[in-house]
């Protein structure tokens, strides 16, 4: 089979890789329906994370069950399935507490930009749809496997409530999905921080009521202006840089909450400042599995349409162009079709 392999920063190749196969009885193998490139894939692509040896890429997937191990009874061959980028048994204490992305048997997915994918912990990880959904719904369901689940977690962690005001820092696919989540959770005012016309447009389509283009102190001042001088109830930090985190912490009101889901790169939080701010802070890798059944339903019912974040569709074999287009910000998110 063939799949994407990173050899060095900027060097993604679509080439022959080891066949996906059952290794443990708890595994399944799926045939990829659609997959995509994640914003976090750009960290190694840009050299911000080291690539010491060539390795496969990709952690977002929906597909058809091809084969299951002897311990897997929850899904069967031919079913259409959605799973999280973090696999989970869905039975351990952390899973039962709703933190499946911290499962005691967790394995992160890392080989999904390929024709077939091995899914560890398949029993707890995969959720099958009742019927095979129409192809037009695949992008939305693919978004649920990571960016939509992560945007939902950001809004959940930031405790978005009906009638509240939410600020979304970051206009990538996760930030845009954060807007969808805040809207669906009933936020009355959603302020998206974005400088890019196409992303502002999509943010508005998803439910943003205000756009702030300023950053840093000016951005904070603008948020305060829009929130009666005190800051927002909820802030979703969807970037992972020091600047974005600082922006988020300073944009929340005393008693407000920040949900941070951007993988932190050189982010340090000042304990004394956090102490005196009265701002609540929670984040981490999204427990997507907790939300999967609900988010799959919302997509199938047409209540949310996170598939709109894919503004570039390519054949899987052109995966390298997907990385390039996202790196150059020509695309928000690239969908890949085998
Ligand atoms: Zn678990």
Residues 6+ away with beta carbon under 8 Å from 117: 20, 29, 30, 32, 61, 63, 109, 111
CA 92–ligand 1 middle distance (angstroms): 4
pLDDT of residue 299: 98
Q: What is the 310 CA–ligand 1 centroid distance (Å)? A: 31
pTM over 0.85: yes
Over range 102-111, report the average pLDDT. Answer: 97
pLDDT-above-70 percentage for the chain: 100
Residue 292 — pLDDT band, cuts 50, 70, 90? very high
Cα 86 to averaged position of ligand 1 atoms, centre (Å) = 10
Q: Separation of 87 CA from ligand 1 center, angstroms? A: 9
Given a contact cutoff of 8 angstroms between Cβ atoms, the answer to whether 86 and 285 are in contact is yes
What pairs with residue 337 in β-bridges? 315
State how far the Cα of 303 lies from the Cα of 289, in Å rounded to an integer. Answer: 19
Residue 59 C-alpha to ligand 1 middle, in angstroms? 18
In the predicted model, what is the mean pLDDT of residues 109-123?
98
Residue 48, pLDDT score: 87
CA–centroid distance, residue 214 to ligand 1 (Å): 42
- DSSP code for 114: B
| Ligand 1 mean position, distance from CA 153 (Å) | 18
DSSP state of 307: G
Question: Is the pLDDT score of 69 beyond 90?
Answer: yes
Model pLDDT for residues 138-184, shown as the tens digit of each residue: 999 999 999 999 999 999 999 999 999 999 999 999 999 999 999 99
Structure-token pair, residue 268: 């340090």
Element (H, E) at 296: helix 288-300
Angle among Cα 330, 15, 86 to the nearest 5 degrees reads: 70
* CA atoms in the 13 A half-sphere facing the CB of 202: 25
| Rounded average pLDDT over 58-72 | 98
Indicate the DSSP class of residue 133: P
Contact 23, 118 (CB under 8 A): yes
CA of residue 15 to ligand 1 center, whole Å: 33
70 Cα to the center of ligand 1, angstroms: 19
What is the predicted pLDDT for the residue at 173? 96
How does the average pLDDT of the chain come out, rounded?
Answer: 97
Q: How far, in Å, from the CA of 120 to the mean position of ligand 1?
A: 12
CA 24 to ligand 1 center in whole angstroms: 16
Give residue 173 CA to ligand 1 midpoint distance, Å.
27
* Residues 110-126, mean pLDDT to the nearest whole number: 98
């Amino acid at each position: 089979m063939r799949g994407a392999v990173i050899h060095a920063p900027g060097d993604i190749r679509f080439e022959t890789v080891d066949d996906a196969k059952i290794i443990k009885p708890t595994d399944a193998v799926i045939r990829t329906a659609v997959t995509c490139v994640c914003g976090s894939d750009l960290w190694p692509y840009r050299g911000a994370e080291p690539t010491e040896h060539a390795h496969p890429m990709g952690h977002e997937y929906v597909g058809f069950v091809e084969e299951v191990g002897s311990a897997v009874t929850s899904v069967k061959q031919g079913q259409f399935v959605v799973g999280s980028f973090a696999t989970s048994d869905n039975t351990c204490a952390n899973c039962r507490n709703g933190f499946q992305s911290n499962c005691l048997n967790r394995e992160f997915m890392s080989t999904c930009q390929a024709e077939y994918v091995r899914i560890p912990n398949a029993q707890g990880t995969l959720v099958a749809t009742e019927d095979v959904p129409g192809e037009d719904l695949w992008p939305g369901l693919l978004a649920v496997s990571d960016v939509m689940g992560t945007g939902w977690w950001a809004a959940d962690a930031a405790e978005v409530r009906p009638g509240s005001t939410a600020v979304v820092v970051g206009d990538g696919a996760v930030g845009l999905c954060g807007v969808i989540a805040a809207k669906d959770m009933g936020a009355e005012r959603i302020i998206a921080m974005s400088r890019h016309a196409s992303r502002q447009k999509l943010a508005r389509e998803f439910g943003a009521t205000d756009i702030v283009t300023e950053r840093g102190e000016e951005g904070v001042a603008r948020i305060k202006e829009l929130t009666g001088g005190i800051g927002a109830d909820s802030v979703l930090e969807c970037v992972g840089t020091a600047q974005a985190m600082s922006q988020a912490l300073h944009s929340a009101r005393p008693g407000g909450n920040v949900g941070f889901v951007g993988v932190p790169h050189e982010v340090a939080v000042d304990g004394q400042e956090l102490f005196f701010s009265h701002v609540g802070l929670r984040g981490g890798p999204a427990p997507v599995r907790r939300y999967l059944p609900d988010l799959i339903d919302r997509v199938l019912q047409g209540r949310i349409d996170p598939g709109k974040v894919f503004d570039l569709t390519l054949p899987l074999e052109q995966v390298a162009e997907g990385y390039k287009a996202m790196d150059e910000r020509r695309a928000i998110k690239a969908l890949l079709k085998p």
